[in-house]
Structure 1
Amino acid sequence: MEFLDKILSVPLEQLPFYLVVLVVAFTVHEFSHAYFANKFGDPTAKLLGRVTLNPTVHFDFLGIILLLIAGFGWARPVPVNRDNFKSPRLMGVVVSAAGPLSNFFLAIIGTLIYAVLISTGVLASISNEKVIEAIIIFFQLFGVMNFFLFLFNLIPLPPLDGYRILEDLVPRQIRAKLQQFEQWSVFIFLLILFIPALRQYTISPLYNLAYNLYYHFMQVFLHIFS
């Protein structure tokens, strides 16, 4: 147990909650990409069985392990062929944005449910303190992690969704230049993730912003239902 505590980036006692939150967050994120791609005429993801809420088809084992150990990770990316879209650039933006936005809406829904449980007295009526603690940990992690995934995936560096959105928004000549430097952008992205000093000024502020989003939405919902 002490060994696991040392290598994990999350407290061992919270590990089951993190896993459940990530299962939901990653599954809905990738499903959203696949669903809208198929809806807009690209059957690639559907043919690979990715238009599903079955988490086993979306998970990347290495990505999950790294997320728990290093604090970052990934799911299996959904393949998208934009040439199958009637409006490749417009529909490409929607498909790319669908993943991060799904995490945003998950965060809102989770925070809303938690606020209702508090405001209605349901949470306070539970006699088992361990159950209360589990509910609090789960909903707080659910809100903060989904807000974080929303923000993180909008970073305009490959292979994140923010980069794909940028590609489809900029003029063709700029897009061609972006693609020339894509390999270097990936290198920059990896440096940010693996060098603690860089993460402190990039990833850490995103966690803080995610928490602030969660806190403010929580206050709004509590005010509404009080």
Structure 2
Amino acid sequence: MTGGAGWLPELLTAIIASVLAITLHEAAHGYAALGLGDDTAKRMGRLSLNPLRHVDQVGTILLPGFLLLVQLLTIGRVEFMFGWAKPVPVDVTHMRRPLQGMMLVAAAGPAMNFFLAWLAGLLVHPVESGGAFLSPDSLGILYRFLGLCILANLVLGLFNLLPIPPLDGGRILAGLLPRSLALPYMRLERWGILIVLFGVFLLPRLVDGFDPVGWALRNVVAFAFNLVLLLSGNGSGG
């Protein structure tokens, strides 16, 4: 997949896998909030499986598109994706216990991603069973798509568990903290994305040997990928 249009199937499968992961992550937040008594997302038309309703111009299009093209043009495959969607609106004042409700709503997004990763692992089995009826190229694309689905969901789910507001991990931690600590902690939310972008992209350029993304890919995501394969009956993944 390094020449001509050979990378086109890789591009398409990576886009579809990423869109599914992001869309269902956001939808999970909205449905969790609705179940806890907040219908804000529903009233604003954001309780939807339509990916276009969750698109953020920078986080969903520009940054992932840049990462896709750079990887495909340099190494011919996708090894890492990063991005975000427009957050589903949630009003925790509609919930009986706002901090705990916020924690559950936040946890729903990563939980959905981990479920989707496991589901993609399970789908390997019917693909294997039907392999005799598919061409080698088609079979390879299906395997690659399922692999990218696992990867995209794990990266999105694990990244969002970082304990930095407004990431889901920050809101989960706020729900576990005493109210006197949770409220000041949540004030970091206005700076959260800048903190994340600085730590993930800028700091590695400034500090030699500091590469949290590379470390995560080599350790946390790789371990989680193999765990998903194991739990879905595909061995240890190597």
TM-score normalized with structure 1 length = 0.84
What CA deviation, in whole Å up to 9, does each residue of 1:140-185 have, x standing for no partner? 1011111111101100112211111111210112123314544454
Report what 2:234 is aligned to.
222
Greater alpha carbon shift after TM alignment, 168-177 vs 19-28: 168-177
Q: Distance in 2 between matches of 1:190 and 1:222?
A: 35
User: Does structure 2 conserve the Cα–Cα contact (< 8 Å) formed by 1:145 and 1:210?
Assistant: no
Correspondence 1:189 to 2:188? no
Correspondence 1:128 to 2:135? yes
Change (3 A) 1:146 1:186: closer
Query: What percentage of aligned pairs have identical amino acids?
Result: 33
Read off the aligned partner of 1:218 and give its amino acid letter.
Answer: L
What CA deviation, in whole Å up to 9, does each residue of 1:74-125 have, x standing for no partner? 111011111100121222111110011100000000011114433xx322x1
Q: Distance in 2 between matches of 1:200 and 1:40?
A: 41
Equivalent of residue 157 in structure 2, options 142, 150, 153? 150
Q: Distance in 1 between matches of 2:210 and 2:148?
A: 20
Count of residues in correspondence between the two structures: 213
Greater alpha carbon shift after TM alignment, 138-147 vs 197-206: 197-206
Matches within 5 A, 1:63-212: 63-64=59-60, 65-70=62-67, 71-118=81-128, 121-123=129-131, 125-195=132-202, 197=204, 201-208=211-218, 209-212=220-223
User: Does structure 1 conserve the Cα–Cα contact (< 8 Å) formed by 2:120 and 2:149?
Assistant: yes
Read off the aligned partner of 1:167 and give its amino acid letter.
Answer: A
Q: 1:49, CA displacement in angstroms?
A: 0.7
Q: Distance in 2 between matches of 1:116 and 1:191?
A: 42
Name the SS of the counterpart of 1:159 in structure 2: coil
Read off the aligned partner of 1:128 and give its amino acid letter.
Answer: S
Change (3 A) 1:180 1:45: closer
Equivalent of residue 54 in structure 1, options 38, 50, 53? 50
Report what 1:31 is aligned to.
27
Name the SS of the counterpart of 2:45 in structure 1: coil
Name the SS of the counterpart of 2:234 in structure 1: helix
Read off the aligned partner of 1:59 and give its amino acid letter.
Answer: V
Q: Distance in 1 between matches of 2:137 and 2:203?
A: 35
Name the SS of the counterpart of 1:195 in structure 2: helix
Q: Structure 1: 5+ residue runs without aligned partners?
A: 6-10
Specify which structure has the higher proportion of helix.
1
Change (3 A) 1:108 1:127: closer
Q: Structure 2: 5+ residue runs without aligned partners?
A: 68-80
Q: Distance in 1 between matches of 2:137 and 2:143?
A: 10
Change (3 A) 1:182 1:33: closer
Q: 1:60, CA displacement in angstroms?
A: 1.6
Q: 1:132, CA displacement in angstroms?
A: 1.1
Q: Distance in 1 between matches of 2:213 and 2:166?
A: 16
